[in-house]
Structure 1
Amino acid sequence: MASEEVKDNAQLKATMLNCNLKPGDADDFAEFEATLAKIDCILQNKAPSDDEDSKAGGDAKEKINFDNLDVDKVRLKVKENRTVINKKTLDEDNEKQVKEMNQKSFMEQVEKDANDRAEARAKAEYEAELQRSQGNEAFRSQKYEKAILHYDKAIIKVKDSAITYCNRALCYIKLQNYKRALKDCQYVLEKLQETNLRAWLYQAHAHKGLKQDDKFEESVAKAREHNPKQLAYIDKYIKQLQAES
């Protein structure tokens, strides 16, 4: 490298002499060009020349002969590539995913439970209707005890059927078991349907059978109050009841 630089400087001086420049000017210009070259080298991050390395006391880097390279003795240095992860964001994303999965699972379970309940309800109502129908048939045959047994089974299947309770109350009235009839009527009026006309009339009937005239009149009045459009039917029922007494 040094010999090439000297050679270039000599050529540059010869060229300048041919251009009728003074030798001193040629030396100054050659030195100026050499300085510019070094500055350019530094700016481009080029390694210093062999001469410069030796002047600084450094040793030239050993060249690697790749043809004779023993791959088993080579150590590969890998720079660690650290990827910065926002742990808070990751935790929030994981928590969000868990919540979404839990919510989805919860909704699926709710839907499944609702479908199961609807299916079970439909099955129970079907079986209760069969028992109620058999109870009605037994009632028409005046087999009141048998009718009560069927109504009992229907109530086990569906516990909120006002019709079944009223049917059973009427069976108890036919058997003159007025206290049991009152229990069924009161359950309907207090738990299921306060305005149920049959429950009020059967309750009045039971009170009449127990000689509880005040409660009889009260039940009739409630029947009229809650069913103002059924006054004609209520009067007919009470007249028939009084005629049988």
Structure 2
Amino acid sequence: MCAFRNLDDKNEEFNNFMHRVNEVSNIVHKLGSNDPALREIGSKEADQYLNNEKSVLYENICEETVKLKITHDRTVINNKALRCETLDDNTMSQEAFMNEISRDADKRYQDRLIRQEKADTLKVRATKAFRRGEYEKAVMLYTKAIEQIKDSCMLYNNRALAYINLKFYDKAIDDIERALQLNETSLKAGLLLVKVYLLKNDPKKFRDAVEQVKENNPKQISFIDGNFILINDFELI
């Protein structure tokens, strides 16, 4: 079920993204028109686009691919500077519109790098706490790291393992499911789910988890079949 929900979310994100691409493309086309009336219409649409009435935010830059996704109803692109760059008193320039979008995307990319650095520092501290057996401290530090980077499969897996050692199995399952939503082929997440249901003494869900991890990782079936006895021996990444 998680995989289907994840697919639906991705489809919705893609549709929203394409809608925004078409919207920006239409505005840019009008701003570049030789027709003064059409340029003026484009200028008004650009102003509206950059205001709260149609707020758009470029964020959630993926760690590996540096892709931009779109979400709604948060801080909008800074539109004050854009209004200063006009072809005349009534018309916004095509170049100014695109430059402002580019500057905003660059700023959010830099913000992401800063948050990633903070998350990495917290992760190192959390891992040290975990290896000392300080599982509550590890959970706290992993939580702070997740607050910086909310789309890290690795962080959710590691916090889940800390929860398992605290016997907070339901919280661990929540984190594992989140990790699998982010990366359904995560072998570690799949085996952690197997481990949780083994510890909860839930044979049916244990078997379901085993089949699911095999389905998601068909090239690792021999490893999975041969190592169930070792699933309690996990190392943090």
Relative to the length of structure 2, the TM-score reads: 0.59
* Match for residue 186 of structure 2 among 167, 179, 196: 196
Inter-partner Cα distance in structure 2 for 1:159 and 1:141: 25
What's the CA shift for 1:225?
1.4
| Structure 2 residue aligned with 1:210 | 200
Change in 2 beyond 3 A, CA 1:184/1:237: farther
Inter-partner Cα distance in structure 2 for 1:155 and 1:223: 24
Inter-partner Cα distance in structure 2 for 1:131 and 1:242: 25
* Match for residue 122 of structure 2 among 83, 107, 131: 131
Inter-partner Cα distance in structure 2 for 1:122 and 1:226: 31
**1:173 pairs with 2:161:** no
Secondary structure in 2 matching 1:159: coil
Higher RCO structure (Cα 8 Å, ≥6 apart): 2
Inter-partner Cα distance in structure 2 for 1:230 and 1:166: 19
User: Which consecutive residues of structure 1, in runs of 5 or more, have no partner in the other structure?
Assistant: 1-91
| Structure 2 residue aligned with 1:94 | 36
The structure that has the greater radius of gyration is 1
Paired amino acid for 1:139: F
Secondary structure in 1 matching 2:136: helix
Secondary structure in 1 matching 2:156: helix
Inter-partner Cα distance in structure 2 for 1:106 and 1:212: 57
Change in 2 beyond 3 A, CA 1:149/1:237: farther
| Structure 2 residue aligned with 1:152 | 143
Paired amino acid for 1:94: P
Inter-partner Cα distance in structure 2 for 1:107 and 1:241: 52
Change in 2 beyond 3 A, CA 1:147/1:157: same
Relative to the length of structure 1, the TM-score reads: 0.57
Q: How many residues align?
A: 151
What's the CA shift for 1:199?
1.2
Q: Deviations over 1:145-187 (max 9, x none)?
A: 1111110000000000000000000011111111111010111
Secondary structure in 1 matching 2:167: coil
Q: Deviations over 1:2-44 (max 9, x none)?
A: xxxxxxxxxxxxxxxxxxxxxxxxxxxxxxxxxxxxxxxxxxx
User: Which consecutive residues of structure 2, in runs of 5 or more, have no partner in the other structure?
Assistant: 1-33, 43-86
| Structure 1 residue aligned with 2:109 | 118
Inter-partner Cα distance in structure 1 for 2:227 and 2:166: 19
What's the CA shift for 1:215?
0.7
Change in 2 beyond 3 A, CA 1:118/1:151: same
| Structure 2 residue aligned with 1:228 | 218
Inter-partner Cα distance in structure 2 for 1:233 and 1:177: 27
| Structure 1 residue aligned with 2:18 | none
The sequence identity of aligned pairs, in percent, is: 34
Q: How does 1:64-83 map to 2 (within 5 A)?
A: none
RMSD: 2.1
Greater helix proportion: 1
Kept in 1: contact 2:197–2:206 (CA 8 A): yes
Inter-partner Cα distance in structure 2 for 1:150 and 1:119: 23
Inter-partner Cα distance in structure 2 for 1:205 and 1:214: 13
Kept in 1: contact 2:176–2:189 (CA 8 A): yes
